[in-house]
Amino acid sequence: MPISPTVRRNPKRALPGFKLTLGYTLFYLFLIVLVPLSALVLKTFTLTLEQFWSAVASPRVVASYQLTFGASFIAALVNAVFGLLVAWVLVRYPFPGKKIVDALVDLPFALPTAVAGISLTALLANNGWIGSLLEPHGVALAFNRNGVVIALIFIGLPFVVRTVQPVLEDVEKELEEAATCLGASRLQTFRHVIFPTIAPALLTGFAMAFARGVGEYGSVIFIAGNMPMVSEITPLIIIGKLEQYDYAGATAVATVMLLASFAMLLLINALQSWRRQKS
């Protein structure tokens, strides 16, 4: 039965038309994202330039920047490697208890961050199950920078696994078989066939894990020790300023973190775009 021109031009849609849907989308993003961030920046503008610099560039705050961004970068890098390995195993190999392992990957998503921090502290402290075994060898994993990195690895792993996993599932195995038939080794097949396909997803997972680590608070404060200039993260600096009713100083430090995270995400997106053009 032929379709009339009217029906062809005006098909029924499950959702309203483009203009109405776009309007709702922009309004929702404006209300949920832009308004809070705008309030953050506007509150910062109540400071003079000298006050702003004093709030964001004091030695204690700078030390917290170094720890927060450095630990987040290291944790995201570790998760990029081992998250790829976990995703590979879950996609490519059948084994008993696979569904349980797959569900455990999402545990940091569902687990309250404070519970994660307390659990890691109970394990890694000097009197914990693991910490008590390492203490005689002079290895301390809790109440220092090591604890911060471990906590960020714990909460960031699912971002990499869940970003890479569906891309690995869609990789055409025929390309791998063709590379093997042409004499490519396993390493060459992974490097030239598989990795270019999953690289954008891996970068995305890395960026998401990094961004989550920069803003993480609950799981870190229990295991970090929170010693100024040593193991104090920037979110704790912000909380401290809020408790002292220094709202402008808190928003100034938060603005610096916002700009740094935004620059990092722009860099990751630029790398992904460049990777797609090269491929």
Q: Are residues 99 and 228 in the same domain?
A: yes
Any idea what the CATH number is for the domain that residue 240 is in?
Answer: 1.10.3720.10
User: Domains in the chain: how many in total?
Assistant: 2
Together in a domain, 26 and 83: no
Banded pLDDT at 82 (limits 50, 70, 90): very high
For residue 142, with 0-12 CB atoms within 10 Å meaning exposed, 13-18 middle and 19 or more buried, which class applies?
buried
Residues 38 and 65 in one domain: no
| pLDDT tens figures, 153-205 | 999 999 999 999 999 988 777 777 787 787 778 788 888 788 888 888 898 89
Residues 78 and 19 in one domain: no
pTM of the model: 0.85
Sign of CA dihedral 273, 36, 28, 109: positive
CA-CA distances (angstroms) from residue 8 to 2, 11, 211?
10, 6, 45
Q: Both 37 and 146 in a single domain?
A: no
Q: Based on the domain organization, do 40 and 171 belong to the same domain?
A: no
- d(CA 36, CA 34) in angstroms, rounded, equals 6
Q: What is the pLDDT of residue 135?
A: 86
62 lies in the same domain as 36:
no
Task: Give the CB-side neighbour count of residue 185, counting CA atoms within 13 A.
Answer: 3
pLDDT tens digits, 218-252: 899 999 988 989 899 999 999 999 999 999 999 99
Residue 98 lies in a domain: yes
214 is in which domain, residue-wise? 56-278
